[in-house]
Amino acid sequence: MVADTHLDGMHSRRIEAGGIALNVREAGSGPLMLFFHGITANSAVFAPLMARLSNRFTTIAVDQRGHGRSDKPDSGYDADSYSRDIAGLIRAFDRGPAILVGHSLGSRNAVTAAARYPDLVRSVVAIDFTPYIEAEALDALEARVNAGSRVFENLDAVEAYLQARYPNLPAAAVKIRAESGFHPVDAGLVPLASPVAMAQTVTGLRSDLTQAYRDVNRPVLIVRGGRSKLVSAAALAKTSQLRPDLPVVVVPDADHYVNEVSPDITLKAITNFIDA
């Protein structure tokens, strides 16, 4: 495992959550706030946000199943399985309903969990994943996910690959992903995320999300990057027609990776939503 040099002050541990062991990073004290990353990523990507919210909340970022240092079963990468993991975690912490902050895959899973386990969820911040994503956008995402399953010679090669894959990410965010998301093998470095799990997960992202959005009765903030190539303006508009009561924040200069590209605006959106 490459050293996590950007995660000072955070405690990492594994927690049994309803039959699966999930790795979490945690800091702070106060009401429970859980963070769920996007596909192929891990809990470390939320470290900058956690550092600024841990004075008010118990902030816990999760390596979702198949990712990071969490268990990687051979199957179970649909929305139901991911949302059961979230419910299991909240019950394991036994701290009352949680605020869920999810990006992309994590957004899908957080909204699904809130719809199915409303007694466990206080509210949701759903970052750059909605119903009505076009097939072409999901095709492009699947191609990027599959391209990352390879061996890299060293950490410099990992960073060069990630910077090319995520051209708008600040260098510090790229470094966090590189240092936290890969582990050594004889030939070099490989992703911690399981290729088998990623293939099943990206297929599962094509499932219809409209029913979860219809059913959810917890407060949900929808956040979209104004330059997102995954969630189009049309997809967002259809989502708002489906649930006109849900507030929306569009971050004009951010792409899909809103919380890493624009952490200050993301932080303000989260705190304004929660305080309201």
- pLDDT tens, residue order, the chain (276 aa): 333 434 556 889 999 998 899 999 999 999 999 999 999 999 999 999 999 999 999 999 999 999 999 999 999 999 999 999 999 999 999 999 999 999 999 999 999 999 999 999 999 999 999 999 999 999 999 998 888 789 999 999 999 999 999 999 999 999 999 999 999 999 999 999 999 999 999 999 999 999 999 999 999 999 999 999 999 999 999 999 999 999 999 999 999 999 999 999 999 999 999 998
> Considering 83, 104, 123, 180, which one is annotated as catalytic?
104
Asked if residue 154 lies in contact with residue 182, where contact means CB atoms within 8 angstroms, the answer is no
Q: Is 262 in the active site?
A: no
Strand partners, 25: 12, 61
Strand partners, 36: 62, 102
* pLDDT for res 7: 56
Q: Which two tokens stand for residue 262?
A: 């624009």
* pLDDT for res 232: 98
- What whole-number distance in Å separates Cα of residue 177 and Cα of residue 162? 8
- Burial label, 22 (beta-carbon count in 10 A; 0-12, 13-18, 19+): buried
* 11-275 fold: Rossmann fold (3.40.50)
Q: Is 256 in the active site?
A: yes
Contacts of 7 (CB under 8 A, 6+ apart): 25, 44, 47, 176, 180
Q: Is 94 in the active site?
A: no
Percentages (nearest 5) of helix, strand, coil residues in the chain: 45, 20, 35
What sign has the CA pseudo-torsion 90, 96, 97, 100? negative
> Considering 128, 180, 228, 255, which one is annotated as catalytic?
128
The predicted model scores a pTM of: 0.95
